């Protein structure tokens, strides 16, 4: 019996089917990766261009576009637009968190039937084009006799992006062991204390991940902002678009560079944080 182990197994001869299969898997995989990452790398490279316009390949490497972007006089409109966008995005994240986290937590405790009935409605904004929602909201606003405003944008963004956080929190809340909250109660904790000390830490990774998605989507959004925002108040995406229309301004690439950096940093810290929470 032991002897058979000493006879070398015959090498499996690679057949044509396997070659085609793996060739396709690897080929398609690499193509998709290039498709996903390529443009981002391209934008990054162009942001370091030393030439006078957006161009590829870059003539030489320099930080001139970043310097120009940070210049308070020359880039004042961009700064204002960025400030407006960040302001909205932050407010949206706060509002979405305050509404969505408790809602998802409560729904995780509701009867299964109710969840099945309510969930599609709450997730509808995810599948509905935000353009449709923005138009509807604008019509509703004018029906109420209200005009475009900061508050309208805030509410609009919150409604459209809340499902992003709702999903991440609901997933965690549903998987949370109900005995944890029961244990807290048997130890004499009030409902509020149980929520703050036990439930909230349990769903915190979901809130953080959701906040990241909501922030990025709000920052990026054009249609809702365009329909519901005051015309005088420019937002970052609108400003960048306008700049590209005027000239091939290299500062646009520099903005993307900074955004890519910020997103990467945020994602990195988020992963570390949620990784630790899930320990």
Residue with Cβ nearer another protein (109 or 197): 197
Q: Which is nearer to another protein, 159 or 203 (by Cβ)? A: 203
CA of residue 23 relative to chain centroid, distance: 33
Note every long-range contact of 48-52, with CB atoms under 8 Å and residues 24 or more positions apart, other chains counting: 48/257, 49/250, 49/253, 51/250, 52/250
Residues near another protein (CB under 8 A): 177, 179-180, 182-190, 193, 197-198, 201-202, 277, 279
Q: Please identify, using beta-carbon distances, which residue of 44 and 204 lies nearer to another protein.
A: 204
- CB of 171: closest distance to another protein in angstroms? 17
- What is the CB-side half-sphere exposure of residue 44 using CA atoms within 13 A? 10
* Least Cβ distance, residue 192 to another protein (angstroms): 11
Helix, strand, coil % over all residues of the chain, rounded to 5: 75, 0, 20
- 1: burial class by Cβ within 10 Å (0-12, 13-18, 19+)? exposed
* For another protein, the closer CB: 23 or 201: 201
DSSP state of 15: P
Q: How far is the CB of 198 from another protein (least distance, A)?
A: 6
Least distance in Å: CB of 111 to another protein? 10
């Amino acid at each position: 019996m032991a002897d058979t182990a000493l006879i070398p197994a015959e090498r499996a001869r690679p057949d044509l089917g396997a070659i085609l299969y793996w060739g396709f898997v690897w080929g398609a995989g690499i193509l998709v990766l290039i498709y996903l990452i390529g443009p981002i790398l391209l934008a990054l490279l162009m942001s370091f261009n030393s030439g006078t316009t957006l161009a590829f390949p870059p003539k030489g490497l320099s930080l001139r576009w970043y310097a120009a972007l940070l210049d308070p006089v020359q880039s004042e409109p961009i700064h204002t637009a960025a400030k407006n966008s960040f302001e909205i995005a932050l407010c949206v994240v706060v509002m979405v968190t305050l509404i969505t986290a408790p809602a998802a937590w409560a729904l995780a405790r509701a009867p299964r039937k109710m969840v099945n009935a309510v969930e599609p409605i709450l997730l509808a904004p995810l599948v509905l084009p935000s353009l449709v929602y923005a138009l509807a909201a604008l019509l509703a606003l004018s029906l109420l006799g209200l005009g475009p405003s900061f508050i309208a944008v805030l509410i609009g963004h919150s409604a459209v992006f809340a499902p992003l956080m709702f999903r991440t929190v609901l997933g965690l809340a549903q998987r949370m062991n109900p005995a944890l909250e029961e244990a807290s109660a048997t130890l004499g904790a009030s409902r509020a204390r149980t929520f703050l000390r036990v439930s909230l830490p349990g769903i915190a990774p979901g809130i953080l991940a959701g906040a990241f998605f909501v922030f990025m989507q709000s920052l990026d959004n054009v249609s809702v902002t365009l329909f519901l925002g005051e015309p005088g108040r420019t937002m970052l995406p609108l400003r960048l678009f306008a700049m590209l229309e005027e000239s091939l301004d290299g500062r646009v690439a520099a903005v993307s560079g900074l955004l890519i950096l910020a997103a990467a940093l945020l994602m990195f810290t988020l992963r570390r944080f949620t990784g630790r929470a899930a320990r």
